Chain A
């Protein structure tokens, strides 16, 4: 297990390195001169040159990449090219919105998708199972942003229960108000991702439903449901977990859209704004953060899978004849 973790950590580092090169290279494609946008149209050539020098833009690309790369592990993602603010500091602040949003949506999605997905698989021949499947199929088809708009329409416009948009300026100073403004966004994200998750759970459950070991467990005295909960769940968990990396990526992308729909000051809105402003250093930091989160979740998922299914881990097969 230790060997596996170490090896997997190495792979994670390699992936992160690859991702950092990709991110850096992708963003160098951006046309436009950051110095020009900083200096404004009145800046003369000498001023532009000095701005470029201050931003380090006159150094070779490799050197720029190296500086960035060596600073990232220390938690320093550089400074905005437009106003000099610390990228790490701003990300930390924005994560106070995006973090609860994404985590809340993930938990909510799991809470309704896992039991409903199993139910849809077990009762697929009956009306309720079919209804769940159809509902999830519809849920997948609805664009996240439209779900957001419909929820605003229902719970903020028609019956003004919750705020339609925005987040308190004071942030979490008033936790009640802040939470209220996250209810609809979290629900939006959870519904969209939950529908996808439900399909995964359903197909993973269908896959274990006819396995012999469930019959063995029933023959030993479990009920159909009991066998499924005790043996089916842990065996279906592997395939569902393996999709979790993709799911987290989808949640983060969903958050970009949801934050825009609900005008939340989160990482997603920040990213959209910075791409628009061509603020290279910030976009670089933001993309790297999102990518690192997804890669790290993938790492955790792999470890969790080894723990659940020891067949993946065991190379030493006991060779004793029976």
Chain B
């Protein structure tokens, strides 16, 4: 049931996808050719006609001409489709029959068995299908079965490995665990929950097996180890025509084209299936409804009068992603050395605002308005120009210390990177400077630690490395995007203290992004509140904390106090357009 629904959904998605459409059409043509060849061919494909050898295409009713024996090429190719389709299907069938049970046993059976399967795959790769098929054909005589079983076994083992990973993923999901917990038998769990969920992956792999099978069949027949006559194979036609390639070049073109289009069909279908079943690709942003500009609320916030000597001035910053406005006319100003807290819930556009300053917006995002650093416009600058500023005048610390560092590179090298890029330091000088920086951000045993790789450090240590990278060139502005959110509570405080201390010491302006009011109050002089991509309120920390104007800020404060002492109360519904002005 579930499998059928999944398959229907996949088919629907396929018909909308260009790859799926082309691939599906090509495979449909192949199937059509097979069916047609069973009922009718223009000529008897194997009939030798000594009176009409070497006929050119379209002469005497021979659409593709005839070969040296006077055989009609179109009929031969039509009949050759049978061998290809049958071998593709039988190979896929054998691969599935072998691969799925093997995968189930490896995933759900004892550990030892799983290791064995992995080992088996490694040895199996070393026996390519073509080689095994050749030997099998030499033993038993070439046939559909020798070819298909060699291919099926070779890829069945391969399939087992892919399916095992997929089964383990599915078996770990909550609903399968829940089914097991509620007493569902193993067999039933496999049938009802596991197989339907791995079906899409299997379909993808099987269509790829069919592609490889078609290619292998052609090569095998070409080498003389395919099904013997009277079976007709595209590979053998190629073999037969090769000696006459200079006299009749077209005769080697048609059968090859037939193989190529078939393989292309299976491959495109596989690709389209993969795209249709990949949840990461399924929810593209294309479906998002663009918000009409007309319904934009009256903006209450006046752009603050240009502050003389402002370090960062963001005016009317608007960011659109896939036609959707996610930041809607944000204004922010930051004086040198000032510490501004940017607060808002997730989706309020605060991170995008920060990324826009560095020119690090995700692809497809479009920013308009103005971002001035030291009075110079940043929006519209080239990647190369922006790269010169990033890490030097403006630096950033990111939220996820676990993924923000290159896992393959020693952390010292990563700390040294901005120094080498902006200060032109030699590798040795930069490496020494990295040790000093590591010490400055409070990393233990800095001389040893710079030689470690990210996975050897704790989350807090990694965030310290991130801060060291950001501070390396003593930037005028440091943007910290939720730098403590992913850390343990005890570590959070240390990291905040470090950022605060370093910013003060170096006179660095701080743009601190967070959803946490408590965090904001410890590191900012001023606070800006963002909601739905707009600045709701902006002002000195004290004012925002004790005399908030905007209802949203009040709700935010109330919620923060509530969580501190009492169960959370749902904040009152705040209409977005009731934005009030703040000084």
Contact = CB atoms under 8 A, between A and B. Distances in A.
Interface stretch (A27-35, A36-44, A51-59, A106-114): A27-35
Interface in B121-136: 122-123, 125-132, 134-135
A138 to B, nearest CB: 7
Interface string A208-231: 000111011111111111100001
B128 A321 contact: no
Given A26-B135, A314-B456, A318-B452, A295 B407 contact: no
A96 interface: no
Contacts of A283: 135
Contacts of B369: none
Interface stretch (A71-79, A141-149, A172-180): A141-149
Interface in B220-272: 222-225, 235, 238, 242, 245-246, 249, 252-253, 256, 259-261, 263-264, 267-268, 271
Given A219-B395, A231-B406, A260-B222, A320 B458 contact: yes
A149 B242 contact: yes
Interface of A, secondary structure class, is helix
Given A221-B417, A291-B126, A216 B455 contact: no
A57 B125 CA distance: 31
Contact of A235 (B123, B406, B461, B464): B406
Contact of B455 (A31, A150, A218, A317): A317
A98 to B, nearest CB: 14
Contact of B417 (A26, A153, A220, A322): A220
A212 B404 contact: yes
A31 B139 contact: yes
B204 to A, nearest CB: 13
A27 B136 CA distance: 9
Interface string B400-440: 10011111110000100110011000000000000000000
Dominant secondary structure at the B interface: helix
Interface stretch (B176-184, B386-394, B563-571): B386-394
B458 A220 contact: no
A213 to B, nearest CB: 4
A257 B222 contact: yes
A9 interface: no
B381 to A, nearest CB: 12
Interface string B298-335: 00000000000000000000000000000000000000
A211 B403 contact: yes
Contact of A157 (B130, B246, B469): B246
B260 A143 contact: yes
A219 B409 contact: no
B417 A138 contact: no
Nearest to A311: B455
B218 interface: yes
A107 B196 CA distance: 42
Contact of B462 (A22, A153, A322): A322
A108 to B, nearest CB: 20
A87 interface: no
B457 A318 contact: yes
Contact of B398 (A215, A253, A256, A298): A215
Interface string B130-153: 111011001100000000000000
A22 B127 contact: yes
B387 A320 contact: no
A145 B211 CA distance: 15
**B245, B268, B387, B405: most-surrounded residue (chain A CB, <10 A):** B387
B417 A143 contact: no
Interface in A136-164: 137-138, 140-146, 149-150, 152-153, 157-158, 164
B383 A321 contact: no
Contacts of B421: 220-222
Contacts of A231: 406, 408-409
Given A220-B391, A220-B418, A275 B135 contact: yes
Interface string B314-358: 000000000000000000000000000000000000000000001
Contact of A220 (B123, B235, B390, B452): B390
B119 interface: yes
Nearest to B459: A322
Contacts of B264: 137-138, 141
Given A213-B403, A224-B383, A249 B125 contact: yes
A191 interface: no
B207 interface: no
B29 to A, nearest CB: 14
A19 B392 contact: no
A30 B222 contact: no
B263 A257 contact: no
B408 A291 contact: no
B44 interface: no
A260 B238 CA distance: 12
A234 interface: yes
Contact of A311 (B364, B398, B407, B491): B407
A245 interface: yes
Contact of B460 (A26, A152, A226, A322): A322
Contact of A15 (B126, B139, B222, B456): B126
B219 interface: yes
Given A149-B252, A321-B491, A322-B460, A235 B407 contact: yes
A276 interface: yes
Contacts of A69: none
Given A157-B246, A253-B130, A322-B491, A29 B139 contact: yes
B128 A253 contact: yes
Interface string B343-382: 0000000000000001010011000000000000000000
Interface of A: 11, 15, 18-19, 22, 26-27, 29-31, 125, 137-138, 140-146, 149-150, 152-153, 157-158, 164, 211-213, 215-226, 231, 234-235, 245-246, 249-250, 252-253, 256-257, 260-261, 271-272, 275-276, 278, 283, 287, 290-291, 294-295, 298, 308-311, 314, 316-322
Closest 7 A/B residue pairs (Cβ): A322-B460, A146-B256, A221-B391, A322-B461, A141-B264, A220-B391, A141-B263
11 contacts: A31-B139, A137-B271, A146-B218, A213-B407, A220-B421, A253-B130, A310-B453, A314-B456, A318-B457, A318-B458, A320-B458
Given A26-B132, A309-B407, 20 more contacts: A15-B126, A27-B135, A29-B139, A30-B135, A143-B235, A144-B215, A145-B222, A145-B256, A146-B218, A153-B249, A157-B246, A217-B417, A220-B417, A220-B421, A253-B219, A256-B131, A261-B242, A298-B125, A308-B408, A318-B458
